[in-house]
Amino acid sequence: MYNRGVIMSNPLRQKIQDRTARVGVVGLGYVGLPLAVEFADAGFHVTGIDVQASKVDRLNAGDSYIQDIPTEILRPLVEAGRLRATTDFSVVRDLDTIDICVPTPLRKTKDPDMSYIVSACEEIAKHFTPGKLVILESTTYPGTTDELVLPMLAKDGLKAGADFFLCFSPERVDPGNPTYQTKNIPKVVGGVTAACTEMGALFYGQALEHVVPVSSTSAAEMAKLLENTFRMINIGLVNELAMMCDRMGINVWEVIDAAATKPFGFMPFYPGPGLGGHCIPIDPFYLSWKTKQAGIEARFIELAGYINGQMPHFVVDKIQGALNDQSKPVKGSHVHVLGVAYKRNIDDVRESPALDVILLLQRLGARVTYSDPYVPSIRLDGGSLEASPVDACVEQADCVVIITDHSDFDYEAIHERVRLIVDTRNAYKNRKSEKIVRL
Ligand SMILES: NC(=O)c1ccc[n+]([C@@H]2O[C@H](COP(=O)([O-])OP(=O)(O)OC[C@H]3O[C@@H](n4cnc5c(N)ncnc54)[C@H](O)[C@@H]3O)[C@@H](O)[C@H]2O)c1
């Protein structure tokens, strides 16, 4: 399947190997920009295409807008002419490879929204010529590459594996992870044909450390969904355990840490205020949508989705209970939220449970403020909220709730000054205090 020599005499093979292939990346967000930087850093000439002119302008000015890519890394690549960006899809004509890294959100009905992939592919198709390698990286349901993308490119009798190459390769980037980044996260790639897989694997092998070829696009699409479904379901399990432990007066964090001492057959997951980000709460529903069409109910996914969706309510109940214990109704109380990003040390608030918690508290009549060193303001249903300095709020607040345990917060100093803390992240793991109410 990999390196069988089926692409031996193809001119693209030589261009990839001697790094003269002109690389294109469509969608320059959290996934696309780091990928473009890796290939530029490996010596390729890379052109990014995005519909947002502001991103294109910033990239061309050598100014990074993605936290994981420091401007000091980006600017020299732009200045050396190895990385540039445009909103104009006609550059596709001159590209040899095209990675598609556009969003794949869910509609309100939890159906996949394929409109970004369709729109990007329509534009690519307008300027498509034989000999190119196209790789879809956006997370999606199994079958997307073969059923949706292939027919859009295989026009005028062009054959995948002979006249052009088409693969799916899931992106696994974990924003804010200091150890694993685009370059050293193994890259799974599966092609429409063996020749496609071989070309895709050859391509990634030039810039990334490990390539994992699989036999089909669907296997690559499904592998990504397995990874994220595995996380989502295990988080659902520990969230349910947290609710059980709460009822029984047991510290769930201690239970998980104790279980994690087993050197085999157990992997710790931790409860929290709910799922966030653009992957774990969304991707499993791609799978349940697709399997429903095949007559199979994805029952684990639906159940975990329900439990995880209850967590913001559970947290608000905890806040309400803690305030009641101090004879304070939640209505009229001041609740200060620490951290609104969906996870520690990043600036992304997409699907963040903090937004749900804040809205629920506001609906109950609480006055809510928040601090987050990474997020200066947030949009809520029908309004917005500006971040407040920690010092200005923690003393006055009737209750401080930790939703995102950023490392920048001085937890000891905060503890000294607050009246009541609801800790949904076990930030005060080693502290015994009457002021702290844990999840
Ligand atoms: N962010 C992550 O941590 C992560 C991790 C793994 C996989 N993914 C997946 O990768 C894909 C991209 O995610 P992201 O986080 O980079 O999204 P993003 O929103 O940060 O970036 C997507 C970019 O695509 C651009 N875009 C939208 N439509 C376009 C079009 N038709 N043509 C050109 N550009 C277009 C947007 O302007 C944006 O800059 C999604 O499928 C996501 O599920 C994301």
Cα angle for residues 60, 83, 117 (degrees, 5° grid): 90
Separation between Cα atoms, residue 328 and residue 367, nearest integer Å? 13
Ligand 1 pocket test target in 25, 26, 28, 30 with most atoms within 8 Å of CB? 30
Is residue 8 pLDDT above 80, yes or no?
no
Q: Residue 110 — pLDDT band, cuts 50, 70, 90?
A: confident
How far apart are the CA of 417 and the centre of ligand 1, in A? 41
Q: What is the pLDDT of residues 283-315, one digit of tens each?
A: 999 999 999 999 999 999 999 999 999 999 999
Is residue 253 pLDDT above 50, yes or no?
yes
Q: What is the pLDDT of residues 254-279, one digit of tens each?
A: 999 999 999 999 999 999 999 998 88
- What are the pocket residues of ligand 1 if the criterion is a CB atom closer than 6 Å to any ligand atom? 26-32, 49-52, 55, 101-104, 116, 119-120, 138-139, 171-173, 175, 278-279
Q: What is the pLDDT of residues 28-49, one digit of tens each?
A: 999 999 999 999 999 999 999 9
Q: What is the pLDDT of residues 171-199, one digit of tens each?
A: 999 888 989 999 999 999 999 999 999 99
Token pair listed for 313: 């309510």
Separation between Cα atoms, residue 200 and residue 213, nearest integer Å? 9
Q: Residue 4 — pLDDT band, cuts 50, 70, 90?
A: low
Q: Residue 1 — pLDDT band, cuts 50, 70, 90?
A: very low
Separation between Cα atoms, residue 141 and residue 130, nearest integer Å? 27
Closest-lying ligand 1 atom to the alpha carbon of residue 138? 41
Separation between Cα atoms, residue 354 and residue 2, nearest integer Å? 45
Please, what's the b/e burial string for 88-126 (b: 16 or more CB within 10 A of its CB; e: otherwise)?
ebebbeebbbbbbbbbbebeeeeebebebbeebbebbbe
Is residue 3 pLDDT above 80, yes or no?
no
Active site residue 196: no
pTM value is: 0.92
101, 279, 393, 399: the catalytic one is: 279
Ligand 1 pocket test target in 25, 50, 68, 89 with most atoms within 8 Å of CB? 50
User: Which residue blocks in 338-430 are alpha helix, DSSP H?
Assistant: 353-363, 390-393, 411-417
